[in-house]
Amino acid sequence: MIDKDEKTDILDALAYAVSELKEKMDPRLIPEVGSNIVYAKKGARSPADVAGVDGRIVTLRKSVHPVGECAFGASDHVARIVLTAMRFDPEIRSAANIRFTETLAALLEDMSFTVCWFDREHEPPGIQTMDWGVASCCKEDVPDMIIDRGAVGKEPMIRILGPDPSSVANTIIMLSSRITIMEI
């Protein structure tokens, strides 16, 4: 159960990060499936304990457009990423997904972020990709970024992790400022 003050604080922090992304994120970073940014309550155990953007963040007329409001339970996919990371480090309570390209991956490594890759071809049967992929990258330490090159019917993706949505949004905005003149 989330107390009212904690719920308000989480939703306010997430809404602020979303507004910053809307204003400063390069829309080329949004994948075909859309982006989301989430913020989990302390001790979160399920997607219902994680706030995200209802309907995701998409590109609309070449700009960043959050489809809905910030709400608890609004994300399943990105929520599972942060829930898995929290099992290894409970201070990592926020995550977002952005588009993958080889150029972006090289830029992230040049920017001194810790990056971990997983290969969907090695995924064991009967387990969800995000649970397995994120856990396989967090065994030693939770990285700043988790990347995969996708698979048949699965878009390649970069996942950004951090303690709160402002830090995750700031990483995306910093990356956006580096690609303004680059072809990604």
Count of other CB atoms within 10 angstroms of residue 23: 10
Q: What is the pTM assigned to this prediction? A: 0.93
Question: pLDDT tens for residues 70-89?
Answer: 999 999 999 999 999 999 99
Give me the amino acid identity at 68: G
In the DSSP assignment, the letter for residue 151 is: B
Instruction: Answer for the pair 115, 108: CB distance below 8 angstroms, yes or no.
Output: yes
Contacts of residue 99, defined as CB under 8 A and 6 or more positions apart, other chains included, come to: 28, 29, 30, 31, 157, 158, 184
Question: pLDDT tens for residues 121-157?
Answer: 777 777 776 778 899 999 999 999 999 888 788 899 9
Q: Please give the backbone phi and psi of residue 50, each rounded to the nearest 5 degrees, phi first.
A: -125, 125
Rounded to 10 deg, the angle between the 165-179 and 102-110 helix axes is: 110
Question: pLDDT tens for residues 19-67?
Answer: 999 999 999 999 999 999 999 999 999 999 999 999 999 999 999 999 9
3 state DSSP class of 182: coil
